[in-house]
Amino acid sequence: MPALDHVLTALSDPTRRAIVERLSRGPARVTTVAEPFDMSLVAVSKHVRVLERAGLVRRARRGREHTLTLDARPLRRVAQWTWRYEQFWNARLDRLEGLFSKKGRRS
Amino acid sequence: MPALDHVLTALSDPTRRAIVERLSRGPARVTTVAEPFDMSLVAVSKHVRVLERAGLVRRARRGREHTLTLDARPLRRVAQWTWRYEQFWNARLDRLEGLFSKKGRRS
DNA sequence: ATAATAATTAACCAAACGGTTAAATATCAT
DNA sequence: ATGATATTTAACCGTTTGGTTAATTATTAT
């Protein structure tokens, strides 16, 4: 099970999130995945490797072609982690902010 | 609204996730937040700045003390993004994997 | 056997990261 | 005014990141 560090690092780059999005619409070869991006195939190949390290992409070699598929399970772990703070993103911030603004609103 | 890039970058480091966890138990000063970590105050101060850039932490200066609070709303956006792939992490991978293993399982 | 295709590895580069120590700034206490 | 406290800024360092081009490996097609 790849470290959450690796999963979040992988997702922090917009190109890699776009690759995830692309693969969610079905498996594809490396060249096909690379096609829409304004960068070299080598650069995309490296991004794919980062996604593999995160466990988000599986690679199946068939001859010279490598077909990539999405494995979304690590995303679930990200969702689970963030979900722990659900109560906080629903909470109004006014109460907390009141502690700091306009000096000295007690309680 | 801070970029998702910044939010995910901020969360990719375990120290910063621990700071988020700490602040979810209530506001705290920088020194207090730094105390459990085996690194300098300056290092923690830098981590806090990254969390601020991501919109995850608010700072309130009161005299020489800076009190930090969690703002979890960016976490919600992370959860929303990952949630788009919920169908994929529930899907069995066998079907996809069957396409690539044991050469030539048709259909 | 030769050539074209799919992809990686190697070598390089500038910028960002995660840490350090030393110095500076601002505030509070005496 | 002096000194202690809270925090940041500056300068530095080794590693990682995100990109490049050139060379290499492996496979398929003629």
pLDDT digit string, tens, across residues B9-42: 999 999 999 999 999 999 999 999 999 999 999 9
Shortest CA gap A93–chain B (Å): 8
Q: In the numeric block, which tokens belong to residue A105?
A: 């609103």
Query: Residues 29..68 of B with a Cβ closer than 8 Å to A: which?
Result: 58, 60, 62, 67
Nearest CA in chain A to B26: A96
Average pLDDT over residues A54-71: 97
Residue with the two structure tokens 């909470």: A91
Nucleic chain C: which protein residues 44-73 of A have CB below 7 A from it?
Answer: 45-46, 48-49, 59, 64-67
B88 touches chain A (CB under 8 A): yes
pLDDT at A95: 56
Average pLDDT over residues B47-54: 98
* CB–CB contact A8 B12 (8 Å): yes
Picking from A12, A24, A101, the nearest residue to B85 by CB comes out as A24
pLDDT tens for each residue of B52-100: 999 999 999 999 999 999 999 999 999 999 999 999 998 876 555 444 4
Q: How far is the CA of A46 from the C1' of C7 (A)?
A: 11
Return the percentage of chain A with pLDDT > 70, whole number.
Answer: 85
| Three-state SS at B39 | coil
Residue with the two structure tokens 């070869």: A29
pLDDT at B98: 46
Nearest CA in chain B to A76: B89
* Helix (H), strand (E) at residue B96: helix B94-98
* The CATH classification of domain B4-95, taken from the options 1.10.3720.10, 1.10.1740.10, 3.30.70.270, 1.10.10.10: 1.10.10.10
| Three-state SS at B55 | coil
A84 vs A92: which has the higher pLDDT: A84
Beta-carbon contacts of residue B18 (< 8 Å; ≥ 6 apart) = B36, B37
Does CATH place domain A4-88 in 3.40.50.300?
Answer: no
Alpha helices in chain A (DSSP H): 4-11, 14-24, 30-34, 41-53, 73-83, 86-90, 94-100
